[in-house]
Amino acid sequence: MKHYPYIDVSRIEDLPSPSVGTKLVVHYAFQYIDFNQIPEYAEQVNFVDCVFMGCELIPGMEERLGANLILPRMGMIYHVFNNSLYHAESLYDGFDPARPETFSSCFDSRVYADYLERGKKSADLRVTIARSLHDHSMSDALQDFLSRYNAHDVVGIMGGHFLKRTDERYRQVVMTSKVLTEKGKLMVSGGGPGAMEATHLGAWMAGRTKEETEDAIAMLASAPSYQDPGWLSTAFHVRKKYSQTRFRSLGIPTWLYGHEPATPFATHIAKFFENSIREDSILSIAQGGIIFFPGSAGTLQEVFQDAAQNHYLTCGVASPMVFVGKDFYTREVPVYPLLQSFVEQGYYKNLLLSITDSAKEAIESILSFA
């Protein structure tokens, strides 16, 4: 028996017309619809095999719905059921770049404060169910977004969140991402600061001149670290000066590391409560390869997760693992020769490894992958 996906409806103007005669509406998923605004529709339609997520129902409607699935709003400050990804405007709703202190009261900060107050590992069943449903909806929205792209055109960049905007390595990440975006790649990162922000700044500046990109980096330099008060404001200033609607990039942050603000340069943001879902999502969707810039524990974890995924061909293909920083990855943190040794001994198979100090060579490694 073939199963078909539910048709999502999140706006009253998109409500389906019932079938003539039976007035049936079959196999739809309604999200945050207030049926009190359309009482005649709610009274006349016969719903079959539908899902109602966070909807406001008219009196007596719930009894009529019978075997249809009804999921309440659950009283959270965030939408438990999202039919789309976040973006800078929604995540930072309430933030005024002219008043950096408003960061503490924007939507993202309120959700993070609630997350800490209720406990990262809450014992409250309502809380854990709500978070799980939120992340499920976010995963669904993520897959819908990615359906517009060839899987092999999705490329990830991994690197340290402490990388400062004034560091030459930051500029290297920006330029790498800029070129790959211009070559038709969708750039993906963990969506936070440091190398992650540089990934999305590069994608944001795609199509612009080198001088304009250098100017954008210079504008950010007054707040080099995400711990500086002006970090977020300067990013919004760059977005305003160099506005664009042509190029896309995908950030995938988590409230587990909510003290690290999400970069507003990512045009699409899939933010999760569960970091494990987030980590697996980044690595599994970047089938066009991953470029590893220097980082610490998180980056190293991602290296071995990616290696295992490629070894087992989890996504049906092994994609390039490109390391940028020969001294870092062979001497300071000698993970590259370790992986080579594991390949030689047969512990890993299917790994497409390369290492370089050149952004140009890293780009060529990604573009040459077929």
Which pair of structure tokens corresponds to residue 118? 């209720």
Domain ranges of the chain: 7-71, 88-137, 150-367
DSSP 158: E
pLDDT in tens, 302-342: 999 999 999 999 999 999 999 999 999 999 999 999 999 99
3-class SS of residue 46: strand
User: How far from chain centre, in Å, is Cα 250?
Assistant: 5
For 150-367, CATH gives: 3.40.50.450
Cβ atoms of residues 111 and 272 within 8 Å: no
What b/e string do you get for 206-224 counting C-beta neighbours within 10 Å, with b at 16 or more? bebeeeebeebbebbeebb
pLDDT in tens, 17-72: 999 889 999 999 999 999 999 999 999 999 999 999 999 999 999 999 999 999 99
pLDDT in tens, 72-115: 989 999 999 988 999 999 999 999 999 999 999 999 999 999 99
Q: Rounded to the nearest 5°, which phi and psi values hold at 369?
A: -75, 130
